[in-house]
Structure formats: C-alpha cells, structure tokens
C-alpha cells in the first residue's frame, strides 16, 4: 500500500495564488530593472550632459567617466532584468563631472541630511 497525501481543492487554489503572486513580483522586478537599464543607456548617449562622447583619433568614440559609469550601470541592470530572482549589488559612486575645477574629490558627494543642506 502506498501513502497518498490528501490535498484539498482549497489548498491547490492557495498554491496557485501564491505561485501567481511570486511570478507577478518577478515580472514587476524585471520591468523595473529594464527601465533602469534603458535610462542609463539613454543618459550615456545624451549629448546634453557630462556623459557626452568625445571623439578622439580617427573618430573613435571615447566616453567621459560619467558616460562609462552609465554604460556599466546599463550592463548591470540589463543582466539583472534577465535574472530578477538574483540580488543586485549597490551601485558604485557616481564619478565627478569632467568640468575643470569641479569635483576635486573624484566623486559627487550626496547630501545625507537636511541639516547638511542648510549648512551649505
């Protein structure tokens, strides 16, 4: 005699609901990562910001540090959209603008509190 577990229709309906919810969560996470990836791609290609491409010898494209950062973020989030169940590491710091005299520390420092913003 083999043991056959009893599963009610209610338990099966709950299992289908949970599976559908998990699938929906991964789909929403995938879409969020795709939007972030394409945002970074468009920022890296934009001629109006600091990520502007500079053309070097023989017309080869060379990205500014900010453009390279946006391209790296594009690759990161595009890969994350293919596997939304894997955790994503925090983004590296944003490189400093390439304007002479700006960004002496090499990274843009983000405000951490309202009192810091008032102190400036």
Indicate whether 24 pLDDT > 90.
Answer: yes
Range of the domain at 85: 32-119
Q: Kindly state whether residue 1 falls inside one of the protein's structural domains.
A: no
pTM: predicted TM-score of the whole model, two decimal places: 0.61
Per the domain annotation, does 27 fall within a domain? Answer: no
pLDDT tens track for 63-77: 777 888 888 999 999
Percent of the chain with pLDDT over 70: 65
The answer as to whether 63 is a domain residue is yes
The pLDDT assigned to 79 comes to 92
Within-domain flag for 75: yes
* Number of structural domains found in the chain: 1
Looking at the predicted structure, is the pLDDT value of residue 113 above 80?
no
Helix (H, G, I), strand (E, B) or coil at 58: helix
Q: Does the residue 83 lie in any domain?
A: yes
57 occurs within a structural domain: yes
Does residue 105 fall inside a structural domain? yes
Beta-carbon contacts of 54 under 8 Å, excluding residues fewer than 6 positions away, are 62, 63, 64
């Amino acid at each position: 005699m083999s043991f056959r577990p009893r599963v009610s229709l209610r338990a099966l309906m709950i299992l289908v609901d949970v599976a559908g919810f998990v699938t929906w969560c991964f789909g929403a996470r995938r879409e969020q990562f795709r939007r972030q990836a394409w945002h970074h791609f468009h920022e890296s290609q934009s001629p109006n910001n600091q990520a502007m491409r500079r053309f070097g010898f023989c017309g080869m494209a060379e990205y500014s540090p900010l453009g390279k950062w946006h391209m790296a973020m594009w690759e990161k989030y595009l890969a994350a959209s293919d596997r939304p169940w894997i955790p994503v590491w925090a983004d590296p710091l944003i490189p400093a603008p390439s304007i002479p005299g700006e960004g002496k520390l090499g990274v843009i420092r983000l405000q951490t509190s309202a009192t810091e913003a008032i102190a400036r």
